[in-house]
Amino acid sequence: MVATACRSDVEPVVVTGYIAAGSDDTAIIISHPDSLLPVRIAITDATTISGGELVAGNIAEVIYVPTEEKKGVVLPKALQITADKTFPRALGRWASREDQRPKIDIELLADGTIKQFSPTDILTYSSWRLTGEEDMIELRGTLSLPPERKKEKKKTASDAELTPPSRRLKSFCITAEIGIDGNRRTLIITSTKSRKAKLYFVEEQ
């Protein structure tokens, strides 16, 4: 009699998270809040990939199944990967025209932070993130405002030793839309209904 082992069909698993550093053409590493450790999933010729680029920091949904067992380790295999389209389009340096005031020159980094070159005083961009809507992102930062005016009082001799009032910092969260102007990518920052700033993507030299 020949013994045969019955193996039940394995249900696909769906995971959504951030693509971690170390991902390449052969495997994608997903970091998500439901797991303490990132999940490494193999990419094969049968894997369907759609959406944006598989770059570190981007959000992706992966449908995978466990496959063959090697040395006691079950290697998951990706069936389908769908990455966000907006993330790779937003990455990089953006700058306004020289005649725009204030002149804005920022770089959106993969870890969600912003490197700012200008302005260097009243406006500071600190972070950015996806909104879930294609070609739309959020920008966060702080605005430095003049100190509040207080009622003037009679000055005394000790007033000369008082330090001047400090400026007020106000946090902001505004939206920006990625678009095209001619053959150049643009980033339209909307602070109010009537106030917008247009930035252009800076190509690497």
Domains of the chain: 13-84 (2.40.50.320), 88-148+165-201 (2.40.128.280)
Average the pLDDT over 127-150 and give the result.
87
pLDDT tens profile 22-79? 888 899 999 887 777 888 999 999 999 999 999 888 999 999 998 756 556 667 999 9
Average predicted confidence (pLDDT) for the chain: 85
Residue 140's DSSP bridge partners are: 127, 173
pLDDT score recorded for residue 4: 43
Q: What is the pTM of this model?
A: 0.76
CB 41 within 8 A of CB 23: no
C-alpha 102: how far from its chain's center? 24
Distance CA(79)–CA(42), nearest Å, equals 9
Distance CA(179)–CA(200), nearest Å, equals 10
CB 57 within 8 A of CB 94: no
Q: Is 7 helix (H, G, I), strand (E, B) or coil?
A: coil
pLDDT tens profile 162-185? 566 677 889 999 999 999 999 999
Distance CA(104)–CA(174), nearest Å, equals 15
pLDDT confidence band for 118 (50 / 70 / 90): very high
Residue 152 vs residue 145, higher pLDDT: 145
pLDDT score recorded for residue 94: 98
